[in-house]
Amino acid sequence: MTQVSPSLLASDFTRLGEAVGTINRSHASMIHVDVMDGMFVPNISIGFPVISAISRVAEKPLDVHMMVTDPGRYINEVRDSGGWLMCVHYEACTHLHRDISAIHDAGMKAGVALNPATPVELLEDIIDDVDLVLLMSVNPGFGGQKFIPNTISKVKRLRQMIARRNSGAMIEIDGGVDLTTAPALIAAGADVLVAGSFVFKAPDPIGAINALSELG
């Protein structure tokens, strides 16, 4: 089954606890939490007090997507607020290897995220060190955007790199994922699908999560 990590960004923030409860009762593998700083991306979302509140009611691991400049400054804060996996952007780190090592030293899984225009080939010298690669299939900063089809080619090329290097890294896709875009992603080798709008704008969010997870 495909792993699904529903993004709380698309949920009703006045009912965040209920949204976490919805994910708890579904077949989701993780809960995707989007942190934005207004610098790396134009938008500002949520910070550590809110992540702590989410983690108090979450029954699935928190997959924390850091869309912030120099995310290495916040490793202890992500861990202390309940992060299980901390994903940092390749484009936001001056010393990516140091940040990935520090995330592991803090006791978390480590992921690296790529913007749509960043080639997967740049991961050749870090792929052995990460647990997950997050490929953005929209430009980061906002939910509800249109899926960028070039992502399919990136997934295939990354899957080949992972096989050639005998890496255990998982491939996660984030942005514009729904029942129309997911099948080609799964066929290309994606392991984890993030879905925000598709889940939380659906009349039956649990059904939407489970439908995605049953695709692959």
Ligand X SMILES: O=C(CO)[C@@H](O)[C@H](O)COP(=O)(O)O
- Kindly tell me which of 135 and 167 has the beta carbon lying closer to ligand X: 135
- Scan residues 75-114 and list those touching ligand X (CB under 6 A): none
Interacting stretch for Co ion, rule CB under 5 A, among 11-19, 39-47, 62-70, 185-193? Answer: 62-70
Q: At a CB cut-off of 8 Å and minimum separation 6, what does 167 contact?
A: 127, 128, 161
The answer to the question of whether 34 is labelled as a binding residue is: yes
Cα–Cα distance, 72 to 99 (Å, whole number) = 5
If binding is defined by CB under 5 A, does position 131 make contact with Co ion? no
If binding is defined by CB under 5 A, does position 37 make contact with Co ion? no
Interacting stretch for Co ion, rule CB under 5 A, among 27-35, 49-57, 87-95, 103-111? Answer: 27-35
171 by DSSP, 3-state: which?
Answer: strand
Active site residue 34: yes
**Cα torsion 4, 41, 117, 85: sign:** negative
* Least CB distance to Co ion at residue 32 (A): 6
Cα–Cα distance, 132 to 72 (Å, whole number) = 17
The answer to the question of whether 55 is labelled as a binding residue is: no
Cα–Cα distance, 30 to 167 (Å, whole number) = 21
Cα–Cα distance, 184 to 182 (Å, whole number) = 6
Is residue 135 a contact partner of residue 169, using CB atoms and an 8 Å limit? no
If binding is defined by CB under 5 A, does position 89 make contact with Co ion? no
If binding is defined by CB under 6 A, does position 71 make contact with ligand X? no
Q: At a CB cut-off of 8 Å and minimum separation 6, what does 31 contact?
A: 5, 6, 8, 20, 23, 54, 58, 60, 61, 62, 63
- Kindly tell me which of 67 and 75 has the beta carbon lying closer to ligand X: 67
In the complex, the residues that contact ligand X under the rule CB under 6 A are: 7, 9-10, 32, 34, 65, 67, 138, 140-145, 174-177, 194-198
Annotated binding site: 7, 32, 34, 65, 141-144, 174-176, 196-197
Annotated binding site for substrate: 7, 65, 141-144, 174-176, 196-197
Active site residues: 34, 174
In the complex, the residues that contact Co ion under the rule CB under 5 A are: 34, 65, 174
